[in-house]
């Protein structure tokens, strides 16, 4: 997974959890600068999310690994990214997909009792291209 390469994010939390996932989706980038990517095509996206926190829940979890997968895989697998409401007014680039995945995970975490934080999202779109999204402090609202 993730070609065994995990760029780390510095933090001071007691616990750090990482979850790898993948999903297959189609997209197109309707920008005149996007060349061939203006045409609909597909990828198997590889995603890694890093979550940090100081306390665990009653089950001893920062968050159940399964809940993270469900939130992302269920939403995007075998879909056309351009059709999702979050990409109505922006292009489903690797950068903006990583940002959206961060927002989805962070919303999920904020609804838990122990409220951990999503510290990093890595999205690999092709064997040679990936993006890292790291939120700024002000993004945690
Ligand atoms: N900054 C970004 N650049 C590009 C994105 C993107 O999301 N962010 N996306 C694309 C295309 O969607 C394309 O599918 C991926 O491009 P690329 O990595 O160039 O794909 P290749 O497999 O052709 O890469 P090679 O290393 O040349 O084999 C384009 N750019
Ligand atoms: Zn693409």
123 CA distance to ligand 1 middle (Å) = 12
Nearest ligand, measured from the Cα of 128: 1
Interface ipTM > 0.90: yes
Q: Taking the domains of the chain in order of start, what are their residue ranges?
A: 14-55+62-139
Closest residue by Cα to atom 24, ligand 1, is 128
CATH of segment(s) 14-55+62-139? 3.30.479.10
pLDDT in tens, 43-88: 999 999 999 999 999 999 999 999 999 999 999 999 999 999 999 9
pTM for the full predicted model: 0.95
Quick one: DSSP state of residue 88?
A: S
- Nearest ligand for residue 81 CA: 2
Atom of ligand 1 nearest to the CA of 35: 29
């Amino acid at each position: 997974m993730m070609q065994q390469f995990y760029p780390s994010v510095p933090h001071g939390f007691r616990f750090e959890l990482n979850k790898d996932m993948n999903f297959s989706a189609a997209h197109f980038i309707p920008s005149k600068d996007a060349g061939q990517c203006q045409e609909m095509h597909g990828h198997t996206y590889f995603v890694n999310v890093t979550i940090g926190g100081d306390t665990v829940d009653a089950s001893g979890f920062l968050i159940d690994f399964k809940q993270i997968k469900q939130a992302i895989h269920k939403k995007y697998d075998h879909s056309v990214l351009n059709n999702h409401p979050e990409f109505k007014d922006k292009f489903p680039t690797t950068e903006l997909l990583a940002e959206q995945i961060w927002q989805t995970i962070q919303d999920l975490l904020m609804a838990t009792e122990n409220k951990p934080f999503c510290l990093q999202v890595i999205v690999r779109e092709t064997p040679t291209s990936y993006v890292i999204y790291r939120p700024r402090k002000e993004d945690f609202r």
